[in-house]
Amino acid sequence: HMLSGGQRQRASLARALVLKPKLIIADEPVSMLDVSIRAEILEIVKTLKDKFQISYLYITHDLSTARYIGDNIAIMFNGKIVEAGPIDRVLLNPFHPYTQALIDAVPEINTDNNTLQNKTNLY
């Protein structure tokens, strides 16, 4: 019997919780899930974080899920941390140009013609 991506993520979380960890390392835990399942998994992760005081090292390229889950964030460029701090401070008032470039690279919906567009180009 095959498990769906969401079922596999739930099973992985359940296996990890059996050990009552203080830290869970989650590398792109929702990147391959469809939007509805992604929202369910993120809500489970956040609930577990709050209920059991679990810390996550949440590795992702998705700034919106990082902001939803995280309290603090570290931005890496070329294998080095270039900026770190409280997530709202880093994402709303970035100090490093690469952090700003990441934020600017997130597509926005153009409500005039219902298309996605990047704010700037990273290159």
58 with 3, same domain: the answer is yes
105 with 66, same domain: the answer is no
Q: Look at residue 1 in the predicted model and tell me its pLDDT.
A: 63
Range of the domain at 83: 71-109
CB 41 within 8 Å of CB 34 = no
> pTM higher than 0.85, yes or no?
no
18 with 48, same domain: the answer is yes
47 with 79, same domain: the answer is no
57 with 103, same domain: the answer is no
- Give burial (CB, 10 Å; 0-12/13-18/19+) of 111: exposed
65 with 92, same domain: the answer is no
Q: Look at residue 121 in the predicted model and tell me its pLDDT.
A: 42
Name residue 108's beta-bridge partners.
117
- Quick one: three-class SS letters along 69-108? HCCEEEEEECCEEEEEEEHHHHHHCCCCHHHHHHHHHCCE
Q: CA 47, CA 42: separation in Å to the nearest integer? A: 8
Q: Backbone phi, then psi, for 110, in 5-degree steps?
A: -90, 110
Q: Look at residue 88 in the predicted model and tell me its pLDDT.
A: 94
Q: Would you give per-residue pLDDT tens digits along the chain (123 residues)?
A: 677 777 777 788 788 878 888 998 988 888 877 788 888 888 888 888 889 899 999 999 999 889 998 999 999 999 999 999 999 999 999 999 999 999 998 887 666 655 555 554 433
Q: Look at residue 119 in the predicted model and tell me its pLDDT.
A: 52
The CATH number of residue 33's host domain is 3.40.50.300
Q: How many domains does the chain have?
A: 2
- Look at residue 3 and tell me if it is in a domain: yes
